Amino acid sequence: MSSKPSVIDNQSFEKEVLKSNLPVAVYFYSEDCPPCITLSPLFDKMAEAYGEQMKFVKVFRQQNRQLAESYNVKSSPALLFFKDGEEVCSRLNGYISSPELRAVIEGILGGTCIRRERQQVHCDVLILGGGPAGLSAAIYAARAKLFTVVIDEGLPGGQVSTTFHVANYPGTNGVIRGLDLMENMKRQAVDFGTQLDEMKEIHEVNFDGEEKHIKTQDTDYYAKCVIIATGAQPRKLPAEGEREFRGRGVHYCATCDGALYQDTNVVVVGGGNSAVEEAVFLTRYAKHVTIIHQFDHFQASKAAQEEALKNPNISVIWDSEIRKINGENFVTSITIENLKTREQKELETDGVFVYIGMQPKTDVFKDKIALDEYGYIVGDEDMKTNVDGIFVAGDVRVKKIRQIATATSDGVIAGIMAERYINGK
């Protein structure tokens, strides 16, 4: 069995998928889709690891619309899993992490996977997370001639890789694709000598003693100091039916899936910059966009608010939350509740785009380092935490402003302070 995914079409689907004697992972992808660009190499690496036990195939959705529609695939990327000719397990959509994909694969295979001999890596600076904060720290640490290693549970790039256009990053020529910006950062870090280890899920951490120990699924890392830059991920909508309709009308990336909603009515949930700006973006495709917000005012910048409120194709429902997602194969309506009157009503819609904040990726650090009540890591202006030799940078730390520029700033400071810490030792 080849360990490289094959590209199939509507005509070969039955033979390659439905009649396969192995379980099959089917990846529906599209062009101009940032999460697809991020997922593709991850999918290829999973095929290398599990290709003897599972078949991996790709389907170009734009050229196989009938096939995609027959399986109710209405977002990119979308991963479906088949066994004995039937779809099994939950689908994966949008920005898919390595642990998430690996868990589904190993669940289908009954926990059977290739076990490789554990490796050991000793370094000066170990950076957990390959987003703008982690890569900026790597650039400064590696340039200081420290042996620097960056590990990431997926592929380095972070949330920025899934952002179609970045228009406010200093020094760029107007607008730059998030993917291109992160490729520049990765190249710069590597050119200075950084080692990038991708698809490394952190299982355990031990911050005691002079040498810190981080354990992944196949490698033990030992470092003189550690910079935590694991970032954050979108908070899921706490409404009945969210999981069932994720990718079938419930989305977390307008730039990824907005084009699917040409001449339709969609809903955006949230009131911050992301929600308001993406609502404006969606008017390129949707006939009408309704913003649903739990408060009676936006938290977005004044400029973003003004652009949204003056747009004739955008309306706002204040003081309300979604309680239920309704539909059969796709979303057809939502049930919303007014938080002041407690009145519930049903609103017809074709899609729901959610922007209700982020959750820090800090589960593995609980009881190991100081966290605030929301799970963010506490650090001072030098990015130092309460544990000697452990620094923090980017969206994962307690801070007021979370932007790409502030993440890189954190990373620069953490990289410099890590150098000073090691030299001081």
Cβ density class 333-352: b for 16+ within 10 Å, e for less = bbbbbeeeeeeeeebebbbb
Task: Tell me which of 33, 36, 225, 253 is the catalytic residue.
Answer: 253
**Residue 257 known to be catalytic:** yes
**Residue 256 known to be catalytic:** yes
Contacts of 356 (CB under 8 A, 6+ apart): 235, 237, 269, 270, 275
Task: Tell me which of 36, 124, 152, 257 is the catalytic residue.
Answer: 257
Task: Tell me which of 36, 123, 225, 256 is the catalytic residue.
Answer: 256
Of 422, 415, 417, 424, the C-alpha closest to 127 is 415
H-run or E-run covering 90: strand 86-93
Cis ω before 360 (30° cut-off from 0): no
**Residue 197 known to be catalytic:** no
Cα–Cα distance for residue pair 47/45, rounded to 1 Å: 5
E-assigned strand segments in 261-383: 265-269, 288-292, 314-317, 320-327, 331-338, 344-348, 351-354, 358-360
Q: How many residues does the chain have?
A: 425
Q: Which two tokens stand for residue 406?
A: 């502030």
Q: Which two tokens stand for residue 201?
A: 């899920």
Pairing of strands 265-269, 288-292: parallel
Contacts of 30 (CB under 8 A, 6+ apart): 36, 60, 61, 62, 76, 77
Q: Identify any residues that bridge with 325 across adjacent strands, giving them in sequence order.
A: 334
Q: Identify any residues that bridge with 384 across adjacent strands, giving them in sequence order.
A: 391
* Contact between residue 402 and residue 368 where contact means Cβ atoms under 8 Å apart: no
Which positions are catalytic? 253, 256-257
